[in-house]
């Protein structure tokens, strides 16, 4: 273990001289069967989770410690002011899901995004105090620990507190990100104070200290969920909401509950897929697409050939139309989950799928709401084979941009994931269907898709991704790479990706990763092809089928990510 730590430190020192090599070295790690593995968006957070495993904690404990550390080291998405989802698979093959998605305040209503003239007001919907949903992360972590953790709660907060109070050195990537972020929100003094030096950008190598955030984490350490939803932290949050004209009040914090739910389960070529149920749309959409694709020999088509990509795009198109029509918070809306994930429904969707030409997305009143790509996913497996997949978010990068004065954490802008206006459709791709309109205490629809793969009772992989609506399709392609193309986890994560989401009717390909012949063939089939930037960060863990070793694959699209074993 000492040698491994020394090697990782050496790799980080070499990062300035050999950035590509350092990225590859940091992105993968393999540990024996008797060890655990954590893979996240920041190596310090991965180390926090790894240390919990080494001290005898289980995968749930490590996931909590990792998530809390990311609230310090990955402020654009890691959070205690947002929410998300957790999938847990136990060594005996049973599984459960923890839903800690944000909820709408009690004062929310479907027409709250209209101005005095009855026109849609996008700024208020996405970037205002009214865009803040009731945070769920702390309640979700507390619930998961109460139900399934074994370590002492205070020890899970300790790494994050240390990182917040003592600080950590900024990478070039994070320093650049913070500089751009602070420049966008000069009207929030607490935000500027926390993430700059008297308004001047921090540079690579500077130490970022967040003492107010450390204080909030200490209150959570002492009081568990009550350290956040009651007492000084809650009062500070509500005071900021009142000052900025937000809807969230003390009663909303006191009433918030994380929920344990039954995962979505599907099967594909003998593999078991375990995904998140609504208000995540990910589990349903992934299973729907796999059910459609099971009717074709994808391996014979060849990986990322025009024919293969065409069939993926057509499956994606149909699953996203279902998403827009049906999916929402099942506590409020009746969603036909069994029908949507059935083989019969997939067969119906295949009926008009032409293997030689693209379908046309006819919008009607079905379009998709804006959903930010700024989310983070991490994966954990412990030495007993318990697996945890967590995806959580603030919605946009750095959420609302609002740091709670005196509390040091960023607030989400998740209310932007509710449909904008009843019946409203425009060039931004807004949706006006009823299921996902804002209602008091309703959870907004999400694309977050933490997913676990198993076969014959054995754990195969843990995966997920950030990326807004691209999350669903990133997860789909990682699974297909593993199952149909027999890739190892590193190759499955690194492979080029594509995306289609029904509307807008465009097929997006990661730029410079597909040759001109592939693009031309897809265009000849009728696809409107668009070059896109990187798609997702699928920080995943695979289980070597021969040795049982845990293989961590941090997505090479992020140089700050880390895979850590104990």
As annotated, the active-site residues are: 375
- Type and span of the H or E element at 388: strand 387-393
Q: Using CA atoms, how far apart are residues 198 and 468, in angstroms rounded to an integer?
A: 33
Q: Using CA atoms, how far apart are residues 543 and 225, in angstroms rounded to an integer?
A: 34
Q: Read off φ and ψ for residue 152, nearest 5 degrees.
A: -70, 130
Q: Read off φ and ψ for residue 454, nearest 5 degrees.
A: -140, 165
User: In 427-494, which ranges are continuous DSSP H helix?
Assistant: 470-483, 489-494
- The alpha carbon dihedral of 161, 410, 368, 307 has a sign of negative
Q: Using CA atoms, how far apart are residues 453 and 543, in angstroms rounded to an integer?
A: 10
Q: Using CA atoms, how far apart are residues 544 and 479, in angstroms rounded to an integer?
A: 15
143 three-class SS: helix
CA-nearest of 88, 58, 46 to 390 is 88
- The alpha carbon dihedral of 92, 57, 266, 553 has a sign of negative
What does each C-alpha distance from 142 to 113, 289, 488 come to in angstroms? 33, 33, 34
Q: Using CA atoms, how far apart are residues 313 and 500, in angstroms rounded to an integer?
A: 6
């Amino acid at each position: 273990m000492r040698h491994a730590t020394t090697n990782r430190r050496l790799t980080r020192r070499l990062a300035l001289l050999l950035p590509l090599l350092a990225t590859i070295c940091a992105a993968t790690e393999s540990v024996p069967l008797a060890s655990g593995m954590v893979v996240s968006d920041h190596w310090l957070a991965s180390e926090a989770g790894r240390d919990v495993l080494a001290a005898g904690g289980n995968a749930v404990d490590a996931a909590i410690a990792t998530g809390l550390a990311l609230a310090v080291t990955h402020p654009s998405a890691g959070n205690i002011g947002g929410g998300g989802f957790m999938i847990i698979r136990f060594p005996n093959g049973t599984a459960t899901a923890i839903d800690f998605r944000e909820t709408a305040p009690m004062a929310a209503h479907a027409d709250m995004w209209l101005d005095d003239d009855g026109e849609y007001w996008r700024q208020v919907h996405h970037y205002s105090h009214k865009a803040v949903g009731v945070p769920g992360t702390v309640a979700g972590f507390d619930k998961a620990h109460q139900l399934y953790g074994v370590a002492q709660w205070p020890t899970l907060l300790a790494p994050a507190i240390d990182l917040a109070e003592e600080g950590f050195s900024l990478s070039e990537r994070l320093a650049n990100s913070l500089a751009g972020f602070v420049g966008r929100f000069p009207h929030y003094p607490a935000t500027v104070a926390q993430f700059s030096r008297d308004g001047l950008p921090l540079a690579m190598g500077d130490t970022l200290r967040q003492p107010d955030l450390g204080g909030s984490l200490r209150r959570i350490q002492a009081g568990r969920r009550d350290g956040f939803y009651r007492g000084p932290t809650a009062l500070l949050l509500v005071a900021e909401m009142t000052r900025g004209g937000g809807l969230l009040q003390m009663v909303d914090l006191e009433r918030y509950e994380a929920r344990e739910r039954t995962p979505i389960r599907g099967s594909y070529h003998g593999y078991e897929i375990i995904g998140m149920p609504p208000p995540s749309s990910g589990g349903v959409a992934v299973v729907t697409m796999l059910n459609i694709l099971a009717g074709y020999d994808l391996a014979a088509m060849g990986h990322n050939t025009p024919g293969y990509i065409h069939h993926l795009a057509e499956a994606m198109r149909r699953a996203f139309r279902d998403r827009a029509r049906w999916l929402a918070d099942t506590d409020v809306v009746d969603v036909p989950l069994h029908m949507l994930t059935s083989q019969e429904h997939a067969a119906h969707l295949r009926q008009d799928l032409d293997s030689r030409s693209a379908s046309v997305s006819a919008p009607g009143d079905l379009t998709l709401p804006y959903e930010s790509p700024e989310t983070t996913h991490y994966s954990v497996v412990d030495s007993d084979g318990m697996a945890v997949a967590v995806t959580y978010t603030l919605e946009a990068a750095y959420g609302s941009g609002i740091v709670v004065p005196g509390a040091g954490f960023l607030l989400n802008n998740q209310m932007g994931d509710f449909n904008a206006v009843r019946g409203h459709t425009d060039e931004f791709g807004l949706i006006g269907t009823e299921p996902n309109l804002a209602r008091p205490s309703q959870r907004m629809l999400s694309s977050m898709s933490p997913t676990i793969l198993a076969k014959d009772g054995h754990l195969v992989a843990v995966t997920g991704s950030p990326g807004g609506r691209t999350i669903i399709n990133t997860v789909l392609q990682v699974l297909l790479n593993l199952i149909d193309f027999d890739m190892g986890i590193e190759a499955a994560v690194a492979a080029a990706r594509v995306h289609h989401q029904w509307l807008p009717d465009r097929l997006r390909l990661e730029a410079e990763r597909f040759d001109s012949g592939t693009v031309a063939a897809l265009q000849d089939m009728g696809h409107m092809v668009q070059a896109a930037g990187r798609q997702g960060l699928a920080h995943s863990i695979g289980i070597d089928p021969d040795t049982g070793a845990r293989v961590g694959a941090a997505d090479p699209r992020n140089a700050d990510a880390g895979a850590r074993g104990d």
